[in-house]
């Protein structure tokens, strides 16, 4: 008989739990119907204990770390563990009861062993449509009631049998019922994977060893996280983030004001002074903000080196003013909260950059445009909803350039393949590439954003454009420069071009085109210290222009021979350094200045 406290058993079970969560995710993605889940991978899976605490989570979307840990306890409030039966599956997507926004639906399945609930299999997917005022998500919604079907905790399956009323309510309230129901059934199926694997684990080690090991794992993660926090200097670290607008009131910039206080192994995030909740749908409920905070703590305490579970977050405290952008109350719209989550994560990391500079990268490309295009497809004679997600530039890191055209730090989603996007509706991608010269300058250069042009081939459709970083650029760090902001436009079939802001709902007609460039990532470190040969390579790769190479990096390149003039470069850099003076700032915020 193995000892319950055996560290080897603990490590084996921890890795098995992580493997189970990842296998659940793999199963979910393979069985999903919608492009946004099966290709973009906007989904997460996790294992919870019988008390509703996270014990393992898939390596899918870091920003969803806290969504499930708020959603699962909310379900268990209405469906206590004592009432659970084998084969039950619960759903919920209420933003104001543990959810995040209407499209994110949690599915929860109890796992029984020897007649007792020993764990839960949980998953969350972003449904492609929930029946709101626009296909997918609208940036013009001004209350949650315009954003689609909101489900309180309900039974989706009762002892293995579908609850027909709930199934029919969902199907009758969405534009693409086959895709939506297919994704929900994929959640049910991935829960069965979790059931099978946890039961096998209990067969191998015994129920008592499994349950005791789970308690030990939570305590172990707490101890490791506290140890990592104790290595960070005590103090209060501040930062203010900005959002272009809320998608409805375009003349109002949104403020995310943060003060992070570290004392020993405890950490407090105080958002006092942040903007009130907005008329437009960029509001975060408490669960969304807490999830972002948890992601930031994971970043500065070692990331995957510490098993991700409830224990990692026991030392976190927060002050989230009720009725603010970070803790909105009903009926605030929350459909576009994804962009706020990303900007919240960069705000949290901006504050922590001074505390743990070696663990924080410069700001990534704000929020790359996310497109929803939906309507009637004449070719199939069916409704369709298509999604396209732009990729941004990753902020540069200590010792490394930022990555080009990638999902922002806390999201970790994939670019939807052109082929999958074009198959989803009457659409064609005319251009897809990197946004030249968009990365912030630095000893380590920020990653480049992406650019894309899409044409509507037939019909008349609704088009939602959701992004940020079109006004306030992603910041550079420790001498690195701010990145280039994003842009967007609609080109009508007659040639008229309409410049569009970072958010908006529009109508497109056959022959119209959509074009955008996403923001790049901020630079890290003094650009005058970047190796001249790397600057030359950037120019040859068309990542940096000749003018930027000379005027910002101080590197003189002969345009005929494409070689560096070392002597002129030394003089140029000395002159630029003299004019600039010593670097006395931490952040380069572009039009907002240096701080």
User: How open is the CA angle 78-18-1, to the nearest 5 degrees?
Assistant: 95
Per-residue pLDDT of the chain (595 residues; tens, 9 = 90+): 344 568 999 999 999 999 999 999 999 999 999 999 999 999 999 999 999 999 999 987 877 767 899 999 999 999 999 999 999 999 999 999 999 999 999 999 999 999 999 999 999 999 999 999 999 999 999 999 999 999 999 999 999 999 999 999 999 999 999 999 999 999 999 999 999 999 999 999 999 999 999 999 999 999 999 999 999 999 999 999 999 999 999 999 999 999 999 999 999 999 999 999 999 999 999 999 999 999 999 999 987 889 999 999 999 999 999 999 999 999 999 999 999 999 999 999 999 999 999 999 999 997 889 999 999 999 999 999 999 999 999 999 999 999 999 998 788 899 999 999 999 999 999 999 999 999 999 999 999 999 999 999 999 999 999 999 999 999 999 999 999 999 999 999 999 999 999 999 999 999 999 999 999 999 999 999 999 999 999 999 999 999 999 999 999 999 999 999 999 999 999 999 999 999 999 999 999 999 9
pLDDT on residue 67: 86
Is-contact 521 362, C-beta < 8 A?
A: yes
Q: Which residues have C-beta within 8 Å of that of residue 287, sequence separation ≥ 6?
A: 66, 67, 70, 71, 95, 98, 99, 100
Q: How many CB atoms lie within 10 A of CB 558?
A: 10
Q: How many CB atoms lie within 10 A of CB 126?
A: 27
- The Cα–Cα gap between 261 and 238 comes to 9
pLDDT on residue 2: 43
Tokens standing for 155? 């039974």
pLDDT on residue 322: 99
pTM score, whole prediction? 0.95
- The Cα–Cα gap between 72 and 90 comes to 10
Tokens standing for 316? 């976190």
pLDDT on residue 256: 98
Burial group, residue 358, by CB count within 10 angstroms (0-12, 13-18, 19+): exposed
Is-contact 449 520, C-beta < 8 A?
A: yes
For 149, 448, 466, 587, the CA distances from 401, given in Å and listed in that order, are: 43, 10, 27, 17
Paired sense of beta strands 382-389 and 370-377, if any = antiparallel
Q: Which residue, 59, 186, 181, 67, is CA-closest to 128?
A: 181
| Domains parsed from the chain with CATH numbers | 7-223 (3.30.450), 529-592 (no CATH)
Q: Which residue, 439, 466, 437, 435, is CA-closest to 451?
A: 435
Burial group, residue 83, by CB count within 10 angstroms (0-12, 13-18, 19+): exposed
Burial 265-298 (b: 16+ CB within 10 A, else e): bebbbbbeebbebbbbbbbbbbbbbbbbbbbbbb
- The Cα–Cα gap between 77 and 153 comes to 9
Q: What's the count of helices (H) and strands (E) in the chain, helices before strands?
A: 12, 24
Burial group, residue 186, by CB count within 10 angstroms (0-12, 13-18, 19+): buried
pLDDT on residue 3: 47
pLDDT on residue 107: 98
Is-contact 386 424, C-beta < 8 A?
A: yes
Q: Which residue, 343, 313, 286, is CA-closest to 53?
A: 313
DSSP line for 183-234: HHHHHHHHHHHHHHHHHHHHHHH-HHHHHHHHHHHHHHHHHHHHHHHHTSPP
Is-contact 555 571, C-beta < 8 A?
A: no
Q: How many CB atoms lie within 10 A of CB 12?
A: 15
Q: How many CB atoms lie within 10 A of CB 16?
A: 18
Kind and range of the H or E element at 547? helix 546-551
Is-contact 425 398, C-beta < 8 A?
A: no
For 11, 45, 104, 284, 308, the CA distances from 21, given in Å and listed in that order, are: 16, 6, 18, 26, 11
- The Cα–Cα gap between 23 and 60 comes to 11
Kind and range of the H or E element at 491? strand 487-491
Is-contact 591 475, C-beta < 8 A?
A: no
Is-contact 46 59, C-beta < 8 A?
A: no
Radius of gyration from C-alpha coordinates of the chain: 25
Please name the residue that has the structure tokens 């380069």. 588
Tokens standing for 40? 């973009």
For the chain, the residue count is 595
Residue 331, preceding peptide bond in cis (omega within 30° of 0): yes
Describe the crossing of helices 177-205 and 164-171 by its angle, rounded to 10 degrees: 140
């Amino acid at each position: 008989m193995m000892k319950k406290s055996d560290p080897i058993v603990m490590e084996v079970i921890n890795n098995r739990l992580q493997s189970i969560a990842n296998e659940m995710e793999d199963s979910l993605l393979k069985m999903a119907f919608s492009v946004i889940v099966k290709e973009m991978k906007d989904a997460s899976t996790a294992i919870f204990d019988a008390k509703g605490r996270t014990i393992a989570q898939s390596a899918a979307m870091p920003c969803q770390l806290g969504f499930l840990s708020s959603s699962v306890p909310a379900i268990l409030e209405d469906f206590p563990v004592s009432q659970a039966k084998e084969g039950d599956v619960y759903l919920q997507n209420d933003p104001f009861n543990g959810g995040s926004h209407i499209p994110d639906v949690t599915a929860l399945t109890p796992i029984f062993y020897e007649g007792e609930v020993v764990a839960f299999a949980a998953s969350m997917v972003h449904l492609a449509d929930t029946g709101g005022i626009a296909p997918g998500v609208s940036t013009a919604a001004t209350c949650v009631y315009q954003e689609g079907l909101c489900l309180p905790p309900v039974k989706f399956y009762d002892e293995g049998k579908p609850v027909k009323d709930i199934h029919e309510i969902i199907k009758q309230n969405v534009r693409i019922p086959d895709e939506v129901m297919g994704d929900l059934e994929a959640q049910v199926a991935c829960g069965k994977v979790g059931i099978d694997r946890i039961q096998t684990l209990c067969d191998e080690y015994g129920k008592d060893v499994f349950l005791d090991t789970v308690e030990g794992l939570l305590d172990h993660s707490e101890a490791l996280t506290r140890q990592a926090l104790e290595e960070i200097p005590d103090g209060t670290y501040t930062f203010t983030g900005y959002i272009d607008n809320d998608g409805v009131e375009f003349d109002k910039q949104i403020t995310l004001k943060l003060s992070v206080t570290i004392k020993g192994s405890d950490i407090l995030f105080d958002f006092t002074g942040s903007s009130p909740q907005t008329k437009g749908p960029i509001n975060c409920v408490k669960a969304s903000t807490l999830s972002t905070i948890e992601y930031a703590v994971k970043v500065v305490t070692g990331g995957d080196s510490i098993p991700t579970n409830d224990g990692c977050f026991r030392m976190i405290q927060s002050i989230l003013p009720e009725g603010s952008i970070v803790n909105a109350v009903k009926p605030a719209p929350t459909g576009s909260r994804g962009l706020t989550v990303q900007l919240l994560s960069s705000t949290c990391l901006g504050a922590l950059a001074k505390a743990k500079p070696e663990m924080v990268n410069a700001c990534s490309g704000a929020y790359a445009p996310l497109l929803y295009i939906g309507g009637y497809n004449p070719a199939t004679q069916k409704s369709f909803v298509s999604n396209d997600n732009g990729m941004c530039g990753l902020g540069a890191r200590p010792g490394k350039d930022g990555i080009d055209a990638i999902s922002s730090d806390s999201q970790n989603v994939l670019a939807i393949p052109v082929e999958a996007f074009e198959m989803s509706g009457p659409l064609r991608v005319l251009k897809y590439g990197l946004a030249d010269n968009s990365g912030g300058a630095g000893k380590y250069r920020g990653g480049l954003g992406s650019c894309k042009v899409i044409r509507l081939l037939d019909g008349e459709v609704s088009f939602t454009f959701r992004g940020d970083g079109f006004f306030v650029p992603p910041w550079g760090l420790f001498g690195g420069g701010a990145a280039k902001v994003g842009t967007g436009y609609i080109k009508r079939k007659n040639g008229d071009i309409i410049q569009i802001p970072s958010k908006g709902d529009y109508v497109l007609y056959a022959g119209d085109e959509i074009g955008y460039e996403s923001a790049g990532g901020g630079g890290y470190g003094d650009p005058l210290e970047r190796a001249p040969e790397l600057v030359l390579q950037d120019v040859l790769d068309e990542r940096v222009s000749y003018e930027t190479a000379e005027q910002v990096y101080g590197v003189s390149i002969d345009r005929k021979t494409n070689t560096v003039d070392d002597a002129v470069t030394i003089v140029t850099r000395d002159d630029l350094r003299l004019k600039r003076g010593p670097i006395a700032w931490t952040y380069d915020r572009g039009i907002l200045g240096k701080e």
